[in-house]
Chain A
Amino acid sequence: MKKRSIVPYGPQHPVLPEPIHLDLVIEDEKIVEAIPSIGFIHRGLESLAMKRDFNQMVYVAERVCGICSFGHGFGYCEAVEDIMKVEVPDRAKFLRTIWFELSRMHSHFLWLGLLADGFGFENLFYQCWRIREKILDVLELTTGGRVIFSVNKIGGVMKDITPEMAVAISEMLTSVKKELKQIVPIFMEDYSVRSRLEGVGVLTKEQAHTLGCAGPFARASGIGADMRTLGYGAYKELDFEIITSDKGDCYARCDVRIREIFQSIDLIRQALDKLPEGELAAAVKGNPNGESFIRIEQPRGEAVYYVKANGSPHLDRMRVRTPTFANLAGLCETLKGADYADVGLLILTIDPCISCTER
């Protein structure tokens, strides 16, 4: 039997964007087992639901994470609106969808940049983040904020997109699409990049299902699940197809996310074309009383929002199950048998968000 060693990895590591710790059991350079531990940035945000007004909790939900901020506010509002039977105006549904897809785009560009940095292609990393800035500029133009932009409220949204802003979004989409097309061949065709991604960290469809994986990580293994098909927001009004791959390796995860950026561009264009006139928010009276489970598709996958209310301004429970939490088991599986040198890339390819995970 070969000698086994345990190598601690993280929570602070040059290639890790988020504080997760792994105890890697290795034989020579091969990973035999990975034991994760988290908990370095648990903030107890869910417990604030018992102390804050349910309207204030929108702001707390938005601060669960920086990158998925809009989605968290959106999911929480959907859950409360479901309990209170609030009919959100159509225009607000479309606006939410537009901002959500812009969030998905900037999240995926952020990830592409980190991936490029992870495999040592710094120029590509800067290109991805430079393109991402254009999306953030549009978010700032339309909401006043670049990452956490706080436009959701129970019953609708607080900001509008004017025709001039819609033109700016459309021009940005054209520009981003053109630039994305220029960098896609590097991710998908460059020999040295492919050598780091192809056949690395394979997770089969059966494994992804058995381990309860979510989002692009699962879809890259052939799982055809995307919560946008539930039809929340304006998604039921838009043409939408789930993007999957059947390879299940790092290359497939990259491929799925790149195609999802193109899809987001298309969805935003559709939403802008169909953006109806009308109110931004419905009137909300009283306090919520009841409970609801709501699922939405965050950039990293399925997120579950549970709200239990008792008729008072304070909630009994607000719970967020984030996609990274669901993907931890899948991550550990992909690490088994991997080379030690690929650990950083494998962690990156689930697009981990530990801030979300620990709340």
Chain B
Amino acid sequence: MAEYINRIEEIDYHDLLEKSIEKKRQGYRLSQACAAYSGGKLELSYSFADDETLELVTFRLVIDKETEIISLSEVIPYAAFYENEMKELFGVNIQLIEPDYKNKLYRINTETPFVPKGE
């Protein structure tokens, strides 16, 4: 495998917006964002890629499911698709997504289907 950086960096959820803006200014693009449940907590992963160095840096946020997260869509417009998905499938409480599909990105009849039973 070629040498390149692929690391996960744990950050406080308050720092997400600032660190994402910093990555954008450095020329990175948001490669993906996703959620996972682990140990009763929500794990959010925002991966930023640099296409020149092939570096992939993933910001990891571990939060309670009630915690409010600010949307990145104002600074990274296409983040809205990822955020709508996280909100709809995992119930992540993301505020001010633009556009907010209001849980209609996927036309499913189950509310937050990826939340483990009992959570």
Most-contacted residue by chain A among B8, B31, B47 (CB, 10 A): B31
Minimum C-beta distance from A237 to chain B (A)? 11
Contacts of A308 in B (CB 8 A): 36, 38, 43
How far is A231 from B36 in the complex, measured between Cα atoms in Å? 28
**Which chain B residue has the least Cβ–Cβ distance from A330?**
B78
Given A37-B104, A39-B104: A230 and B38 within 8 A (CB)?
Answer: no
How far is A244 from B43 in the complex, measured between Cα atoms in Å? 36
Contacts of A232 in B (CB 8 A): 1
Contacts of A321 in B (CB 8 A): 31-32, 34
Interface string of B57-88 (1 = CB under 8 A from A): 01000000000000000001110010000000
B6:A293 contact, CB within 8 angstroms: yes
A329:B77 contact, CB within 8 angstroms: yes
A-B contact count (CB 8 A): 90
Minimum C-beta distance from A236 to chain B (A)? 6
Q: How many residues of A contact B (CB 8 A)?
A: 38
B1:A231 contact, CB within 8 angstroms: yes
Interface string of A35-79 (1 = CB under 8 A from B): 101111010101100100000000000000000000000000000
Given A47-B113, A293-B58, A317-B36: A211 and B105 within 8 A (CB)?
Answer: no
Name A42's contact: one of B45, B101, B107 (CB within 8 Å): B107
Name B34's contact: one of A211, A212, A223, A319 (CB within 8 Å): A319
A351 interface hit (Cβ, 8 Å): no
B106:A38 contact, CB within 8 angstroms: yes
Interface string of A230-253 (1 = CB under 8 A from B): 111000100000000000000000
Contacts of A342 in B (CB 8 A): none
B30 interface hit (Cβ, 8 Å): yes
**Which chain B residue has the least Cβ–Cβ distance from A50?**
B116
A225:B51 contact, CB within 8 angstroms: yes
A101 interface hit (Cβ, 8 Å): no
Minimum C-beta distance from A215 to chain B (A)? 12
Q: How many residues of B contact A (CB 8 A)?
A: 37
Contacts of B30 in A (CB 8 A): 212
Contacts of B45 in A (CB 8 A): 293, 306
**Which chain A residue has the least Cβ–Cβ distance from B79?**
A212
Minimum C-beta distance from A210 to chain B (A)? 8
A224 interface hit (Cβ, 8 Å): yes
Interface positions of B from 24 to 52, Cβ below 8 Å from A: 27, 29-32, 34, 36-38, 43, 45, 47, 49, 51-52
Contacts of A35 in B (CB 8 A): 99
Minimum C-beta distance from B41 to chain A (A)? 12
B78:A316 contact, CB within 8 angstroms: no
How far is A47 from B106 in the complex, measured between Cα atoms in Å? 14
A325 interface hit (Cβ, 8 Å): yes
Interface string of A293-336 (1 = CB under 8 A from B): 10100000010101010100000110101000110110000000
Minimum C-beta distance from B45 to chain A (A)? 7
A291 interface hit (Cβ, 8 Å): yes
Which 3 residue pairs are nearest across A and B when measured between Cβ atoms? Answer: A231-B2, A329-B78, A321-B32
27 A-B pairs with C-beta separation under 8 A: A38-B105, A39-B108, A42-B106, A47-B113, A211-B78, A225-B51, A230-B2, A230-B54, A231-B1, A231-B2, A232-B1, A291-B8, A293-B8, A293-B45, A295-B49, A302-B31, A302-B49, A306-B45, A308-B38, A308-B43, A316-B37, A317-B34, A317-B36, A321-B31, A325-B81, A326-B31, A358-B106
Residues of B within 8 A of A (CB): 1-2, 4, 6, 8, 27, 29-32, 34, 36-38, 43, 45, 47, 49, 51-52, 54, 56, 58, 76-78, 81, 99, 101, 104-108, 113-114, 116
**Further contacts, 8 of them, CB under 8 A, given A50-B116, A209-B27, A328-B81:** A224-B52, A231-B1, A231-B2, A304-B31, A304-B47, A310-B38, A317-B37, A326-B31
